[in-house]
Each structure stands twice: as C-alpha cells, then as structure tokens.
Structure 1
Amino acid sequence: MNLNIRIRQQDFVLHPLGAAYWPEQEILLVADVHLGKVSHFRKYGSAVPVQAIVQNFIRMDQILKDFDPEHILFLGDLFHSSLNMEWDIFSDWVEKINNQVHLIAGNHDIISPLQYEALGIDIFSQLQIGEFMLTHHPEDHGDLFNICGHVHPGYKMRGGGRQLLKLPCFFRSGNQMILPAFGEFTGNYFMKPEEGDRIFAITGKEVIPVI
C-alpha cells in the first residue's frame, strides 16, 4: 500500500518497493539501483543467485504499471561499476518502455555518458525543479528541499520478546528526504533519527510511518 505525503505544497507518493512518485511533475524518483552489481560480484566468485539480476527490472516494471510516469529520474548509482552483461538487459528495457529516462550521476556512475546518450538518457550533476534540488549525495541547498539517495537508509524496528526487524526506509529530516536504495542487492545504513525526523519504513507490500 502506498503512502501519500506533502512537501512544500507538493504531493509525493511513497511506494513500498522504494520509489517515490511526484504527480505534479509526473516524475518517478528512484535511487541507487546498482545495476550490474550482481554480475560484478559473481565475476569474482560470490555466490549471488543469477535470478537477482532480473528482480530489479521486474520491480521497476511493477512501479511503472502503478504510476505510468512521464519521466523516470534515477538519483545516482544507476549502474554499479563498468559495463557488463546487465548493460544489455538495461538497454533492452529502456528501448521497450515509453517513459523519458534521466540520470543524476552518482559516485558509482563511471560508464561513459556517451553510452547513456545513445539510449536517449539525459545526465545531470544535480537538478532543480521549483523549490526542490535533486541530487545523489545528501546536500544542504539552503531554502531548497533536497531529495537524494546514496545513503541506503534503513531502520531497526524493535518489538516485544527481543524482536528485531531491519527494513529499508525513506528518511526525512529538515529540508531533506533520502530515498531507500532500490537495488535488489544493496544493503542498508541504519539511521538514528533525531527529534523532528520522519521514518517511513518499506516492506515491499506497504509503507509504514514509524515516527
């Protein structure tokens, strides 16, 4: 189940798979997919299931079906490292969708911009839309509200009987919201919220406002 929130008089729909839809701009925001990471680790002997490669695309197709956005904006670290077999899968996927794709380059995005340009993908270092500054790394942009990725935020939900549930989350603090990592094979950095911060944990099926 999605969760609707308001920021600066704009609507944002948080999806339980970890993306956010901005209906006023018809933009789907996705952070830290890290395509190619599975192939990269398998190349060096890690026993990562090959099925994990296609999961990112299955999940992305589900979100596109749910929102049908005009634009898909990746907030950095779209591809984990250098070119490998997953680039061909990504290229085929871009060719078949009917959405405009854009990338804010992250620290892992080392593939030549010419490769993205050949697919019709625009690349930015940052992008301002109205009162919002979209970046990869969390940054302070004064009065602008920063939407970003990079951190892979997560939260530890504790229950009775020593129960502990570790979940990815959307993390909002002050003039900033950090999106969870979308990639199937990434990991989390567990946040320690302070007074006034908001945590929206995701389970894959629902978005849970924790605090």
Structure 2
Amino acid sequence: MVPLSFAFPFCREEFVLLPGRALFWPREQALLVADLHLEKASFYARHGQFLPPYDSRETLGRLAEAVRETGARRVFCLGDNFHDSAGSTRLEDHAAGMLAALTRATDWVWITGNHDPAMEARHGGTMAEELEVAGMVLRHEARRGEVRPELSGHFHPRLQLKVHHRHIRRPCAVVSEDAQGAGRMILPAFGALTGGMNAADPAILRALQPARAIDALVPAGRKLARFSLWRDAA
C-alpha cells in the first residue's frame, strides 16, 4: 500500500516520496527512480578496489518492492542507471533475471546519464536522452534556466542537519518553486552504493534557478518533513 502520508503537491499534480527513495506519480501510475548505478562494485573491482558484488541485486530488489507497493505500471529511470555504459554486460545471471522480470512487467524507460551515455537496453525497456510526460520534463541533470516542470537526478541530494550535537544525513528530494508557481525536483539517489551531496550545496541551488524557494523533502517517521534550503531575498 502506498503511504499517503508521504504525498505532496507538485506542479498541480500529486506525488508520493517513498521512504525507499523512489517517487510515485499516481495519476500516471508511474514510479520514478534516479541514479541506480548498477554494477558499481564490478566497475571498481576492475580497477583493483574490491567491494561486495551484490549491489545490483540489492538495488533491483528494493526497486521490485517499490513496484509491488505502488502497483506502478510504468517505470522511469532518470539516468546513471549503470555506473558505466558497459555495466549492463556485467550483470550476473541472478541480477539479470531480476531486471528482465521488471522490464517485462512494466512500461520501462531508461533515460541516459553522464555515467552511462552509451548504454544499451540489453535487459529490456526503451532508451531516451530525455522525455516529456504530461507536461513534465524527465532528464538526468537539472537544466539551469528551465521554466517547464522538471524531474531529474544526478546530484544525489542528502539533507544534513545537526541535532543535539549529532550530525544527521538523510537522502532527500529537493524541490523548487518559481514566481509563476511552477516547480522542479531533484530525486535522491536510489542505488545501493551511492553517496550523497549536501542538499544545500551551491551546485544544487544553482541548478534549480530561477526559483523563489527551494526545499528538501524527507520521509520521517509517518510523515513527510519539509526543510527550507533557500529563499529569494527580493
């Protein structure tokens, strides 16, 4: 069941930010995820840094659970799907079977990113550099100056707070609103081996301009918490 307490309005649509770092779009019956970075461990192993080789299984397992939880019929992956363009050739049989089952069960679209610009849809799905769905632009990296509603990834945003002498870091979505009430959103990284960038980093704030407000959204407990990152002083 979709946790409706994590629902929020965005560009005159309703979205749900799942605790597992996926975004659900009920009207389109679509699940959106960014920065899977599948086969990151095998990429590093090729360069002499050995990590547990099960990152793709973990990521795809969580993604399958999100599809089941939401009943999504469409899946949009917003770039950096694999850690490199050849990553799809390295999937071991079990992970490859998991991915093939997902792409057969849904209308699956891979949007390419800077890590995997030349990837091929070897395990199903279709490819696109960017896409527009119901007036919403889907791309990998937010385009500064974009005035249309936009969903993207790339930055791996994390909210960083200090509470009672403790430093707290949580993956988050970053949303902006411009003077006309339109908005843009950067999704958290979904992959098992993905780090994060401070959601208030100037690179993120610049990418979402023009804006009058920029906030971080974090599922916390049983509700969706909103934290202000930036406000136009004008």
Interval containing the TM-score (normalised by the shorter chain): 0.7 to 0.9
C-alpha spacing 1:158/1:41, structure 2 compared with 1 (3 Å) = same
Structure 1 partner of 2:199: 191
Render the CA deviation track for 1:125-157: whole Å, top value 9, x for unaligned.
Answer: 111123311110111464411110001111112
| Higher relative contact order (Cα pairs below 8 Å, separated by 6+ residues) | 1
SS at match of 1:92: helix
TM-score by length of 2: 0.79
Instruction: List gaps (5 residues or longer) in structure 1.
Output: none
Percent of paired sites with the same residue = 25
Instruction: List gaps (5 residues or longer) in structure 2.
Output: 178-182, 206-211, 229-234
The separation in 1 between residues aligned to 2:43 and 2:21, in whole angstroms, is 23
Structure 2 partner of 1:73: 76
Matched residue count: 207
Does structure 1 retain, via aligned residues, the 8 Å contact 2:100–2:124? no
Counterparts of residues 11-30 of structure 1 (less than 5 Å):
11-30=14-33
Counterparts of residues 78-117 of structure 1 (less than 5 Å):
78-81=81-84, 82-83=86-87, 84-86=89-91, 88-97=93-102, 98-113=105-120, 116=121
SS at match of 1:107: coil
TM-score by length of 1: 0.87
Does structure 2 retain, via aligned residues, the 8 Å contact 1:172–1:197? yes
What is the one-letter code of the residue matched to 2:98?
W
Does structure 2 retain, via aligned residues, the 8 Å contact 1:169–1:199? yes
Measured after TM superposition, the shift of residue 87 of structure 1 is 6.2
C-alpha spacing 1:120/1:96, structure 2 compared with 1 (3 Å) = closer
- Please report the RMSD computed on the Cα atoms of aligned residues, expressed in angstroms: 2.4
Does structure 1 retain, via aligned residues, the 8 Å contact 2:35–2:190? yes
Structure 1 partner of 2:218: 201
2:6 aligned with 1:3: yes
2:136 aligned with 1:132: yes
The separation in 2 between residues aligned to 1:110 and 1:142, in whole angstroms, is 21
Structure 1 partner of 2:156: 152
Measured after TM superposition, the shift of residue 91 of structure 1 is 3.3
